[in-house]
Structure 1
Amino acid sequence: MELTSGYKRTDVGVIPEDWECAPIATVARLESGHTPSKRMPSYWGGNVNWVSLHDTQSLDGPEISATSKSITEDGLNNSSARLLPQGTVVFSRTATVGKATVMASPMATSQDFANYICGPKLHNHFLVYLFRSMGRTWRGLMAGSIHNTIYMPVFEALKIALPPVAEQHAIAAALGDVDALLAGLDRLIAKKRDIKQAAMQQLLTGQARLPGFQDAWEVKPLGQLVSIQKGQLITAKTLAPGHVPVIAGGKQPAYFHAFANRFGRTITISASGASAGYVAIHEGPIFASDCSTISEADGYSLDFVYYQLLLKQALIYKAQTGGAQPHIHAKDVNPIPFFAPAVDEQAAIAEILRSMDAELAALEARRDKTRALKQGMMQELLTGRTRLV
């Protein structure tokens, strides 16, 4: 394959001419971690932050500032654990291989981590993004029969693509901006979900009434409000592959069939298995299999019933029977008490909650698009295919 002008072929792939293919040991110092003896209580619970596999979620952010466990000075002094300086890159090399971040303060780590103290030619946040982009490389280097592990000699011999330091800073800043945007979207989505949950609690129980509605609410068993139908089993003889989603529980179709047995909008309640009791709503024709269903009809708003079921999801799960193989049938959910205002008030409440769902869906779609954009940026910037001025 012919090289583009200004690029060269190296051990780490095709990179710009002015980038180096450098052994990481020449630009950073590798440090291992250690676990002090757990038989010595005096070694634990001190003021030294100690990164362990309990902290792997914290490795997704730009920095790790707190740890779930800590050790004492005695634990540090009487083991091979090392106190590493602020700014050290910590990389998970066992179990959750590939997670990396920067220490926000001096910390020690367990032996499950490889740690790099970067020199003046290597920017620590650039190295974090580079490590996070190397998933395929890490998978090829894993070994171990019990846990996926990358052994320390691999890190001693590792080579990386090394842009000029100024470009490293620019790349890390650009990707950091996208991460900040993603974090902001995550916070906004979490806040909107909390607002929706509070609105459901208030509106679906009558604690808050919408303007213009004053009639008293009834409380009646679900089975008196709606008609719940049982799904239909598909056998090997009746299976005809097609495009109609077969709903047998859970969020995703179990498979696809040639025929539908429910048309229009339908609520499903999973009937058995690990997802027994899971509530979902479907917008088009489906084949209802291992589930109970509620279809649109006069006398109630299907969306209102759906949101009521969501509000009572924990109660529905408690109705499971069958022990190791849980089941929930129509007779199990029929007695659940439901608030039942007039149909027009049901529809008005459901419309507000649908609008909240639409706003959440738009935010989640924006977050997903931003994540995909970030992946593309990483691929371009960390290989030098796109250069930052």
Structure 2
Amino acid sequence: MNIPQGYKHTEFGLIPSDWVLCAFKDVLTTFSSGATPYRGIPEYYIGSIRWISSGELNFNVIYDTLEHISAIAVRNTNLHIHNPGTFLMAITGLEAEGTRGKCAIVGASATTNQSCLAINGSDRMCVEYLFWFYRMWGNYLAFKYCQGTKQQSYTAEIVRRLPIYCPATIEEQNKIAEALSDVDALIAALNKKIAKKRLIKQGAMQQLLTGKKRLYGFSDEWTIKKLGGLAKMNSGGTPDSSNSEYYGGDIPFLSISDITSTNKYISRTEKTITEKGLRYSSARIFPIKTIMYAMYASLGKCGIADISLSCSQAILGITPSKNVNTEYLYYILSYIEETVKEFGQTGTQTNLSKQLVQDLELYLPTDYKEQQTIATILSDIDKEIADLEARRDKYKLIKSGMMHKLLTGQIRLK
């Protein structure tokens, strides 16, 4: 291959020629795993000493832990208390526990179990750079270098021999880590705002959809009615999956997974069917603004169709009457989702029926304008959440690009 001037080729690809390619052991220290105190002694788990398991490693800084242990547990188990700034990587149970390639930094002094390997920096590499390097290359390293037949795992010795590259100076390593940490902090701040907005929305739903708080200018009574008396509803149907002529056409075909992956409006589907598939099955077309309601698997999940679509028999298309605001009905169905799950019929899987959904009793304003006003308030909150999520997702893309360019030396920081 043609190697540009100023670069050298490695198993990770091209890196600047003045960067160092070596093994973990050449630039890092410690490499110690922890242990699990004997669970048969309850006193071991009554204490204030933080104890980290590999499941808590999620590219994060760990300030507190799910479990805490006592000083006697630390002493009798020969555990080491790691200082803040220690790097942790998951070394065992990687696939089974979903921790393959995961890492973290100790934020407050803690011990670990045997599935975590603690590593410290040196005068040749800072932990902050190691953290970002491993976030980028952890999956690759685990896939290539883990060993074992039943369960792919690391040992301390394997980790010591893992390849790593870095700028020759701690100063440049720190600059890279600092730049990436800044954008990570921005994403974390947006996540906090999103979580706060969701709590505000939940509170607004509890107040507005139950009539506990009435909006100014509205005084008409609320009423309890069955959903079947407020809307028309029909389930879909699935064309024969063995007939290739029925699939891959221009008609969107909604599945449960499409509903669970959307926030409110359904504008696309993973699958499509053909006119022939529609004609020779019980599938039907549901128009825009139909509320699509999950009866199987994700019980009670719903969304509003933003496109004309068809769906499987696991989904109910609900068309509100002229006296019921579509968005209001969507919000009240979303609000009672957890309650609806208790109504599921148990067969091969828990599910709802059309009759059960029709019999749902809803409490709502008789005044259409009050329904509309409540729905508008909740929609505005949803829009604010969507805008924040869009900003966060934009910064995630920026971070991904920054990681690639900064951690391969395509962009050098002064």
TM score, norm. by length of structure 1: 0.91
1:107 counterpart residue number: 110
Alpha-carbon distance, 1:191 to partner: 0.6
Distance 1:21 1:299, change over 3 A: same
Identify which of 120, 123, 128 aligns with 2:131: 128
Q: Is 2:185 the partner of 1:180?
A: yes
Provide the C-alpha distance between the structure 2 equivalents of 1:212 and 1:280, rounded to a whole number of angstroms.
Answer: 30
Question: 2 CA distance for matches of 1:158 and 1:233?
Answer: 51
Which letter maps to 1:20?
V
Partner of 1:328: 352
Listed one character per residue, the Cα deviations across residues 175-219 of structure 1 (whole Å, up to 9, x for unaligned) are: 111111011011000011111111112122222222322222222
Q: Is the 8 A contact 1:303 1:350 kept in 2?
A: yes
Counterpart-to-counterpart distance in 1, 2:238 and 2:7 = 60
The alpha carbon displacement at 1:301 in A equals: 1.0
Are 1:379 and 2:395 matched, yes or no?
Answer: no
After superposition, the C-alpha distances for 1:287-312 in whole angstroms (9 at most, x for unaligned) are 03222111254221111111110111
Matched, 1:158 2:162: yes
Instruction: Quote the Cα distance in structure 2 between the aligned partners of 1:362 and 1:380.
Output: 27
Q: Does 1:364 align with 2:389?
A: yes
Share of identical aligned residues, percent?
31
Rounded Cα–Cα distance in structure 1 between residues aligned with 2:178 and 2:247: 53
Q: What value does the CA root-mean-square deviation take over the aligned residues?
A: 2.2
Separation of aligned partners in 2, 1:21 and 1:9: 10
SS at match of 2:206: helix
Q: Is the 8 A contact 1:36 1:80 kept in 2?
A: no
Shift of 1:141: 2.4
Q: What displacement does 1:246 show?
A: 1.7
Question: What is the rounded CA distance, in whole Å, between the counterparts of 2:352 and 2:43 in structure 1?
Answer: 51
Contact 1:49 1:66 in 2 (8 A): yes
Maintained 8 Å contact 2:28/2:120? yes
Residues 27-61 of structure 1 show CA distances to partners (whole Å, capped at 9, x for unaligned) of: 211222223333344544334322113423xx432
Distance 1:44 1:315, change over 3 A: closer
Contact 1:249 1:276 in 2 (8 A): no
- 1:1-389 map, 5 Å: 1-10=1-10, 12-29=12-29, 30-56=31-57, 59-61=58-60, 63-94=61-92, 95=94, 96-134=99-137, 135-163=139-167, 164-236=169-241, 239-250=246-257, 251=259, 253=269, 255-259=271-275, 261-272=285-296, 274-290=297-313, 291-341=315-365, 342-389=367-414
For 1:214 and 1:319, locate their aligned partners in 2 and report how far apart those are by CA, in whole Å: 33
CA contact (8 A) 1:25 1:156 kept: yes
Q: Is residue 287–residue 305 contact of structure 2 (8 Å, CA) maintained in 1?
A: no
Hey, what's the Cα distance between the residues in 2 that align with 1:38 and 1:310? Answer: 42
CA shift for structure 1 position 232: 3.0
Partner Cα separation in structure 2 for residue 245 and residue 143 of structure 1: 45
Q: Report if aligned partners of 1:277, 1:320 keep a CA contact under 8 Å in 2.
A: no
> Alpha-carbon deviation of 1:25?
0.9
Report the Cα distance in structure 1 between the residues aligned to 2:20 and 2:399, rounded to whole angstroms: 24
Give the C-alpha shift of residue 275 in structure 1.
2.2
List runs of 5+ in structure 2 lacking aligned partners: 262-268, 276-283
Take 1:277 and 1:104, find their aligned partners in 2: how far apart are those partners? 40
Cα shift at 1:98: 1.8
Q: What corresponds to 2:266 in structure 1?
A: none
Look up the equivalent residue of 1:328 and give its one-letter code: L
User: Across the two proteins, how many residue pairs are aligned to each other?
Assistant: 385
> Shift of the alpha carbon at 1:350?
1.4
Q: Look up the SS of the partner of 2:201 in the other structure.
A: helix
Structure 2 CA distance for partners of 1:297 and 1:40, relative to 1, 3 Å: closer
Partners of 2:272 and 2:148 lie apart in 1 by 39
Q: Secondary structure, in 3 states, of the residue corresponding to 1:121?
A: coil
Q: Which moved more, 1:209-218 or 1:5-14?
A: 5-14
After superposition, the C-alpha distances for 1:203-259 in whole angstroms (9 at most, x for unaligned) are 222222223222222221111111222323423568343132222434264621124
C-alpha distance in 2 between matches for 1:12 and 1:264: 49
Task: Tell me, yes or no, if the aligned pair for 1:222 and 1:335 is still in contact at 8 Å.
Answer: yes
CA–CA distance in 2 between the matches of 1:17 and 1:254?
45
Q: Are the counterparts in 2 of residues 87 and 102 from structure 1 also a CA contact under 8 Å?
A: yes
Give ranges in structure 1 of 5+ residues lacking alignment: none
Could you say if the C-alpha distance between residues 218 and 11 of structure 1 is closer, same or farther in structure 2, counting changes exceeding 3 Å? closer
- In the alignment, is the contact (CA less than 8 A) between 1:12 and 1:159 conserved in 2? no
* Contact 2:59–2:135 (Cα < 8 Å) also in 1: no
CA separation of 1:275/1:156 partners in 2, compared to 1, >3 Å: closer, same or farther? same
Q: CA deviation at 1:155?
A: 0.6
Give the deviation of 1:124 after TM superposition.
0.9
- For residues 119-149 of structure 1, give each alpha carbon's deviation from its aligned partner in whole angstroms, at most 9, with x where no partner exists: 1221111111111111223222233344442
Which whole-Å CA distance do the structure 1 matches of 2:13 and 2:311 have between them? 51
Q: CA offset at residue 330 of structure 1?
A: 2.0
- Give the conservation status (yes or no) of the 8 Å contact 1:90–1:113: yes
Contact 2:88 2:104 in 1 (8 A): yes
Contact 2:101-2:141 at 8 Å conserved across structures: no
